[in-house]
Amino acid sequence: MRQALKVLWRHDLPDEPVELYSELDDAGYEIRKVEIYRDGRRDFADGESSSVTTTLGEGPLPSLEEIAEQEEFSPSLIESVQFEKVWRQAVVDSSNS
């Protein structure tokens, strides 16, 4: 069963995303990913395509608990419908650029 994950990343790095969305397979590998930046830019990646600098992770993501142990990250599971909405917006944004 696929899972969808949202991670808020609190930092002061101007060129890094502040929201990370990942759709994961049963083994915890990313299938699709969206990164949202402070300026509203949305980059994405899947197994076939990507925009700008976003790529899928090479290994399985850590568990929610492991991610939450790092104080700059706030992870949560989200509904697949919510992930799909974020994904579609990222793809639309890239086609309008």
Q: Give Cα separations from 5 to 29, 46, 81 (angstroms).
A: 12, 15, 12
Find the mean pLDDT for residues 66-84. 96
The CA distance from 25 to 7, in Å, is 17
The dihedral built from the CA positions of residue 48, 88, 32 and 73, taken in this order, carries a sign that is positive
Token pair for 16:
């890094």
Q: In what order do the strands lie in the sheet with 19-24?
A: 42-46, 30-36, 19-24, 3-9, 73-78
Reported as a pLDDT band with limits 50, 70 and 90, residue 96 is low
Reported as a pLDDT band with limits 50, 70 and 90, residue 54 is confident
Rounded to two decimals, the pTM is: 0.92
Task: Examine the pLDDT at 48 and tell me if it is beyond 90.
Answer: no
